[in-house]
Amino acid sequence: MRTALIAMTMVPALAIAGCATYRDAPIVDAEIVRSDGLAAIGEATRVGTLVVTPQHLVEDSRCPMNARCIWAGRVVVTARIDGAGWRETKNLILGEPVETHGRSLTLTSASPDKQTGVEVAEDEYLFGFEGG
């Protein structure tokens, strides 16, 4: 009887303890979340305490690697950012840190490199992120 009583009191305590760690986890819809800070459009990746999902390539005006340009250009990607109990969508610009909910996030890379005369489909891009 004593063993049953101990078991009955431990189950609710374990359930509550499990909820505490879940509450601190980012909101994520994706079944698979990468852990390397890299993600393609629609793919989620963990960046520190955040989960980032690129949703749409807004702009890739980078100077092609096989051309000479006056302006280096930029890459802008719309990304969903999930944190502990919150979700936000922002445009991230390559190399420019963004502050959100007390954390910094930076789009650090976009590949492939742009080349003159070569069109790259949105789903061929791989984006890198740092921070969180």
Helix, strand, coil % (nearest 5) of the chain?
20, 40, 40
C-alpha 79/C-alpha 28 separation (Å) is: 13
Estimate to the nearest angstrom the gap between the alpha carbon of 123 and the chain centroid.
Answer: 16
In a domain, 125, yes or no: yes
Q: pLDDT tens across 9-62, in order? A: 444 444 444 443 455 667 776 678 999 999 999 999 999 999 999 999 999 998
Q: Please, are residues 38 and 127 in contact by the beta-carbon 8 Å criterion? A: yes
Q: Domain count of the chain? A: 1
Asked if residue 58 belongs to a domain, the reply is: yes
Q: Does residue 64 lie within any of the structural domains?
A: yes
Residue 37 belongs to what domain range?
27-131
- CA proximity to 110, closest of 97, 98, 120, 99: 120
Q: Does residue 16 fall inside a structural domain? A: no
- Asked if residue 18 belongs to a domain, the reply is no
Q: Quick check: is 60 in a domain?
A: yes
Predicted TM-score (pTM) of this structure = 0.77
Tokens matching residue 41: 């459009």
What pLDDT, in 10s, does the model give residues 104-120?
999 999 999 888 888 88
